[in-house]
Amino acid sequence: MTSYFRPAATLLLLMTFLTGGLYPALVTLLAQSVFPAQANGSLILDKQGQAIGSALIGQSFSQARYFWGRPSATAPYPYNAAASGGSNLGPTNPALSDAVKLRIQALQQLDPDNRALVPVDLVTASASGLDPHIGIAAAHYQIKRVAKARKLPESVVRDLVESHSEPRQWLIFGEPRVNVLSLNLALDAYSQAARP
């Protein structure tokens, strides 16, 4: 019996050291040296170096002066990274239809002159509930409202949208998109710089 105990205990200690200590240390060292921003959460920092968000997690914006992101179905509050997930409402569920109608009404009340069709990503939540991006059409839909609220020429806001547009991932996956937090921070910076 003791002849089995020693090899088993030795193997347990060895594997604990390899998989519980050495491997995580090597992966952490590699990630911190090769991809430090991504390894630390792709944080977006303000001028003082304080984290104000992540490029990977959306934030809730509801003022007319900001671009709005995709709705979030996480609970108990939007964009809760600890509760990532969709609403699980199917396409035939009346609750989904009602939620979409309410979101369309909110967008139209905020910008009653905009007669364009509301892009789908402004009224439907993503599967994770954390999507930080909107499509180019969703950003263009909001340009007039944001420009009017900030008293900026539409061309300036359009240029900011274009300069913050990202192509398809590796040129083949997904659609061209805009990171909402990054764009809103650029808008704030432009508005502050333009103040007399």
pLDDT tens digits for range 170-195:
889 989 999 999 999 999 999 888 77
Q: Under 8 Å CB-to-CB from 57, ≥6 apart: which residues?
A: 79, 81, 130, 132
Q: What is the mean pLDDT of residues 109-124?
A: 91
With tokens 């920092």, the residue in question is 45
For the chain, give the mean pLDDT.
Answer: 90
The kind and range of the H/E element at 33 are helix 23-34
**Residue 9 pLDDT exceeds 80:** yes
pLDDT digits (tens, 9 = 90+) for 37-89: 888 888 888 888 888 888 899 999 989 999 999 999 888 888 888 888 888 88
CA-nearest of 182, 73, 85 to 123 is 73
What is residue 196's predicted lDDT score, i.e. its pLDDT?
64
**What tokens were used for 74?**
């996480």
Closest CA to 145 of 122, 125, 167: 122
Q: Where are the domains of the chain?
A: 1-40, 42-194
Instruction: Write down the pLDDT at residue 194.
Output: 75
Please give, one letter per residue, the 3-state secondary structure of 62-119.
CCCCCCCCCCCCCCCCCCCHHHCCCCCCCCCCHHHHHHHHHHHHHHHHHCCCCCCCCC
Q: What H or E segment, with its residue span, contains residue 37? A: helix 36-39
Q: What is the pLDDT of residue 70?
A: 94
Confidence (pLDDT) at 13 = 94
pTM of the predicted protein model: 0.81
